[in-house]
Amino acid sequence: MKAKIKKIQFFSSIIFLATVAFLLIFILTKDKKPTPAKTEEHSEKLILGFSQIGSESAWRTRNTQSIFEAAAENDIQILFDDAQQKQENQLKAIRSFIVYQVDVIAFVPIVEDGWDNVLQEAKDAGIPVILVDRQINADPSLYAGFLGEDGLEEGRRAARFLVKKCKNSKGPVNIYEMSGTENSSVVRDRAKGFREILSSDSKFKIIHSEDGDFLRSRGKEIAENLITSSHKKDGLYFEGQKIDAVYSHNDSMTLGMLDSIEAYGVQTKDTIIISVDAEQKSIDALKEGKLNCVVECNPNLGPMLMELVRKIAAGQEIPRVTYNPETFFTEYDDFSSYQPRGY
Ligand code: GYE
pLDDT for position 34 = 47
Calpha distance 333→180 (Å, rounded): 27
Residue percentage of the chain with pLDDT more than 90: 87
pLDDT in tens, 52-84: 999 999 999 999 999 999 999 999 999 999 999
Q: 277 CB under 6 A from ligand 1?
A: yes
Give the type of residue at 254.
T
Atom of ligand 1 nearest to the CA of 58: 11
Calpha distance 234→8 (Å, rounded): 103
Pocket test for ligand 1, best of 59, 64, 108, 112 (most atoms within 8 A of CB): 59
Cβ-count burial 234-247 (b if 16+ within 10 Å, e if not): ebbbbeeeebbbbb
59 CA → ligand 1 middle, Å: 6
pLDDT for position 33 = 47
pLDDT for position 54 = 96
pLDDT for position 27 = 66
Is pTM, for the whole model, over 0.85? yes
Q: Which of 3-17, 91-105, 129-143 has the lowest mean pLDDT?
A: 3-17
Q: 296 CB under 6 A from ligand 1?
A: no
Q: 181 CB under 6 A from ligand 1?
A: no
Q: 154 CB under 6 A from ligand 1?
A: no
- The mean pLDDT value for 101-113 works out to 98
pLDDT for position 111 = 97
| pLDDT at position 196 over 90 | yes
Calpha distance 264→289 (Å, rounded): 18
Q: Judge contact between 291 and 116, C-beta under 8 A.
A: no
Beta bridge partners of 106: 50, 130
| pLDDT at position 51 over 90 | yes
